[in-house]
Structure formats: structure tokens, C-alpha cells
């Protein structure tokens, strides 16, 4: 029977960062990482603003950055803007490389887990591993949550004649509004390589992949970009949380420590998980006691849930107060606010004055419906 100080189950973003943090802060800790897939992190791109990451945690993500830009653009029907906030992208290949460099080969176990307890894991093949602590980082659970969805298909396009973009377009909402709030997201990796993602804040998680692929092609054609080839593709449906019950999401009777989306560690409105994953991994590796890990991680998750109430209110405003094809107006208005406020919002660190400023003035949704949503939260 194998034994370890810590077993991390799930080698996605959260699990991979936790492995790097423990390897850095506790090199004598016997760590096992259990992941059924062939690579750590799967096949993803994760992006973040410089203001998302505290200076003391920067060491954790800096080696993983594949591309960095000094600003980004947003486009709406009645407003466009360039923001001078550095923007970074991490390809999952970089995370995989870093984790494999930090851990011994035998510490990475390619297997699924059929049973987890506070101090043990049973793999799919029946092998049992005993540990001082187990950390469940296997992805999100939706138990007890009221959800909308952010869904997308993205493709890496090769455009031999060049696309002309020098910085990302984080939101281009000048496109036809379909299936809720629709925008296109663009990352220029080189003068001839452009990652284009068609994204929707939708009432359902269903993705018509072929249709979205066609719309990516239509978007490129409308801008005169001739696509020579399409490379890596990503697709997914991420939860946008409007409400729910933390006790249902993570019952007190569940004594296994959690990380990442499994513990609800993501932004309720943007579905953005990287800032929380970095904060959690740095905290966990630096200070968390293994024997108290279930209690400590659940307490942290509960605090995060309480802190996210304001963002859940905004999610409800977006999905319940605005007509689907008018949801873009909420973001159009938001992007007229100060850049520092926008940065704190994405990082999930909005101040009280930020929160008041976002809600002040004439709402970009019908007043009666906004009041109804607000009453549901009071």
C-alpha cells in the first residue's frame, strides 16, 4: 500500500498549481498527484490580468506565461475602449511541463479515483493510498446552485496575410446578439496566428459546436481574414452563479478537503477561476496544516461564498432583469467605469465604493425587473 503526506486528486489548473506550491514551500512533503488524463491541465488556455495576482504570489504563474500583452481592447455597439492593463495567457502545456519538472515521475499517477476519504484514496484499479490529507480538485459541482452559463468554442486560426491585431480583444460585442449575451474574444499569438473564441452568456449549457465554428469563420471573413488552417480548439460551458445554498454545494458532512471549482473557488459572474486558484494554492502550500485541511479549506470556501454574494446579485441582474439580446448593455455600461475598478472586479476584490459605483445611476435593465431581482436578495 502506498502512503503519502498529501494526495491531490485532479490535475487541472487548481490541482496543478497546488502541486507546484507544495513542491516549492514543502519540498520534504511526500506528494502524489492523481490525474486520469494524459497531461496535467488538459488542453486549455487560461488568461489573467496583472492586477489579478498579488505580487507575493507572482512566482507561481510567471514561469507558466506563454504570451503577454501590455493592454487590451473592448468593443460594444455604442462604446469602445483600450485599457492599459497587462494581460497574460497560460497554455496548459506550460503547466504540464512545470509540474513534471517539480515532481518525481512516480509522484504523478495516471488513474481515476473511485473513492475519496479525508485520509485515503481508492484508485479505479482498486489500489488504496493512505495519506495525512487528501485534496479533491476534480472540477466543479453544481449541487444547490442557481446557474446561468458562459459557453464557448475557440479556435486557433492561421491567417497568412496577417490579422493586424497587436493586443487582445477581450470582448467584441458588436456581433449579432444570439442566445443571450454574445461576444467574440481574440488573442493575437503572432502576426499570423489568432485565437478566436465565440462566447455566450446563455440560459442553457448546450453548445452547437458546428454552428459556433461557422460563426468563427464568419467573424474572420467579415474582417477580411483568410483562414489557411484551424489549429487547437477549446469548448466548454462554465457556470455563472446567481444564487444557491453553500451547505448543498459542500455539506458539512463531507470531510474531504477541496480545491478549485470543486470547492466553489471561482468568480460567480465571470466564471473566472485562475485568480482564486493562485491565491488558494499559495495559501495552501505556504500555511495550511495537512491534518486540518478539510476544515481549513471548507472554512475558506464558506468565506469565499459569502464574499461572492454581490457578484451573484450582478449575475441575477444580467440573467433575470435584462432581456437576453440586451444583456450586452450591462457590460457596455460597466466598461465605461474606471480601469482600476474594472481590474478589482475581475480579481474578485471589489471595494465597497466599487460596488456602489457599479450599481449607481440609471440601470441598463428595466427598472421594475431590477427591483424584483434586488428584492429576492434582500
- Mean pLDDT over the full length of the chain: 95
Whether 348 maps to a domain, the answer reads yes
Q: What is the reported pTM?
A: 0.94
Q: What is the mean pLDDT of residues 103-122?
A: 96
pLDDT in tens, 239-296: 999 999 999 999 999 999 999 999 999 999 999 999 999 999 999 999 999 999 999 9
Tell me the Cα Rg of the chain. Answer: 21
Whether 253 maps to a domain, the answer reads yes
Rounded CA-CA distance 171/150 in Å is 13
One domain for residues 22 and 129: yes
pLDDT at 50: 96
CA distances from 178 to 175, 284, 315, 327 (A): 9, 41, 18, 10
Q: What is the DSSP string of 11-35?
A: -SHHHHHHHHHHHHH-TTS-EEEE-
Whether 367 maps to a domain, the answer reads yes
What's 215's domain CATH number? 3.30.70
- The strand pairing partners of 212, in sequence order, are none
Whether 153 maps to a domain, the answer reads yes
The phi-psi region of residue 264 (left if phi > 0; otherwise alpha if psi is between -120 and 50; otherwise beta) is: left
Whether 22 maps to a domain, the answer reads yes
Residues 6+ apart with CB under 8 A from 28: none
Last residue of a domain, one of 216, 241, 266: 241
CA distances from 11 to 32, 99, 115, 198 (A): 10, 9, 16, 26
Last residue of a domain, one of 215, 241, 267: 241
One domain for residues 283 and 259: yes
pLDDT in tens, 319-348: 998 899 999 999 999 999 999 999 999 999
Last residue of a domain, one of 218, 241, 264: 241
| Domain span at 354 | 310-377
Amino acid at each position: 500500500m502506498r502512503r503519502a503526506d498529501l494526495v491531490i486528486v485532479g490535475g487541472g489548473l487548481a490541482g496543478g498549481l497546488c502541486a507546484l506550491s507544495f513542491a516549492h514551500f514543502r519540498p520534504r512533503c511526500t506528494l502524489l498527484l492523481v490525474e486520469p488524463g494524459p497531461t496535467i491541465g488538459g488542453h486549455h488556455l487560461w488568461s489573467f490580468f496583472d492586477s489579478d495576482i498579488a505580487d507575493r504570489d507572482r512566482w507561481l504563474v510567471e514561469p507558466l506565461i506563454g504570451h503577454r500583452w501590455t493592454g487590451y481592447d473592448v468593443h460594444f455597439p455604442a462604446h469602445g475602449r483600450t485599457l492599459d492593463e497587462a494581460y497574460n495567457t497560460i497554455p496548459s502545456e506550460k503547466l504540464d511541463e512545470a509540474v513534471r519538472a517539480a515532481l518525481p515521475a512516480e509522484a504523478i499517477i495516471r488513474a481515476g479515483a473511485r473513492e475519496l476519504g479525508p485520509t485515503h484514496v481508492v484508485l479505479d484499479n482498486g489500489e488504496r493510498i493512505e495519506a495525512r490529507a487528501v485534496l479533491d480538485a476534480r472540477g466543479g459541482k453544481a449541487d444547490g446552485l442557481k446557474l446561468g452559463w458562459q459557453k464557448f468554442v475557440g479556435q486557433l486560426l492561421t491567417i497568412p496575410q496577417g490579422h493586424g491585431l497587436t493586443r487582445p480583444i477581450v470582448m467584441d460585442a458588436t456581433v449579432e446578439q444570439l442566445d443571450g449575451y454574445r461576444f467574440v474574444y481574440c488573442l493575437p499569438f503572432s502576426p499570423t496566428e489568432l485565437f478566436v473564441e465565440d462566447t455566450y452568456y446563455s440560459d442553457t449549457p448546450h453548445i452547437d459546436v458546428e454552428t459556433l465554428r461557422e460563426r468563427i469563420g464568419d467573424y474572420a471573413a467579415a474582417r477580411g481574414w483568410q483562414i489557411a488552417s484551424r489549429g487547437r480548439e477549446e469548448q466548454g460551458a462554465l457556470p455563472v452563479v446567481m444564487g444557491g445554498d453553500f451547505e448543498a454545494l459542500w455539506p458539512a458532512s463531507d470531510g474531504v478537503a477541496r480545491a478549485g471549482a470543486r470547492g466553489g473557488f471561482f468568480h460567480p459572474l465571470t466564471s473566472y477561476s485562475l485568480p482564486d486558484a493562485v491565491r488558494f494554492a499559495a495559501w495552501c502550500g505556504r500555511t495550511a496544516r495537512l491534518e486540518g485541511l478539510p476544515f481549513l479549506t471548507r472554512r475558506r470556501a464558506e468565506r469565499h461564498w459569502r464574499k461572492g454574494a454581490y457578484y451573484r446579485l450582478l449575475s441575477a441582474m444580467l440573467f433575470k432583469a435584462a432581456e437576453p439580446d440586451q444583456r450586452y448593455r450591462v457590460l457596455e455600461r460597466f466598461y465605461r467605469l474606471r480601469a482600476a475598478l474594472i481590474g478589482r472586479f475581475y480579481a474578485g476584490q471589489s471595494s465597497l465604493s466599487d460596488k456602489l459605483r457599479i450599481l449607481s445611476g440609471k440601470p441598463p435593465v428595466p427598472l421594475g425587473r431590477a427591483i424584483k431581482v434586488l428584492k429576492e436578495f434582500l
